[in-house]
């Protein structure tokens, strides 16, 4: 594999989702009212991201716009 990926590119999104989930869980446990809305938004973001990637159309490697990730 000739293309090397940085740690930020590999772990950036999962780390951001983990932090957002942590904020959502803590706000749901410790506060009411406005913070309940914050927890709903924070926790539903992960579900939305999973649904996005599960339902999107699969792109063949030869059709990718980013040629640096093409492994052929």
Whole-Å CA distances, 47 to 7, 36, 54, 60, 66: 24, 17, 10, 25, 26
42 found inside a domain: yes
Closest CA to 15 of 39, 46, 41, 53: 46
Domain assignment present for residue 1? The answer is no
Domain carrying residue 28: 10-54
Residue 16 domain flag: yes
- For the chain, how many structural domains are there in total? 1
Secondary structure of residue 71 in the 3-state scheme:
coil
pLDDT in tens, the chain (72 residues): 446 788 888 999 999 999 999 999 999 999 899 999 999 999 999 999 999 988 887 766 655 555 555 555
- Does residue 22 fall inside a structural domain? yes
Are the CB atoms for 17 and 45 separated by under 8 Å?
yes
Nearest CA to 5 among 71, 67, 69, 64?
69
């Amino acid at each position: 594999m000739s293309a090397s990926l940085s740690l930020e590119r590999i772990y950036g999104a999962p780390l951001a989702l983990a932090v957002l989930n942590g904020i959502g869980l803590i706000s749901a446990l410790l506060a009411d009212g406005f913070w309940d809305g914050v927890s709903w938004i924070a926790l539903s973001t992960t579900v939305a991201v999973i649904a996005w990637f599960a339902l999107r159309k699969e792109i063949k490697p030869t059709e990718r716009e980013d040629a640096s990730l093409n492994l052929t």
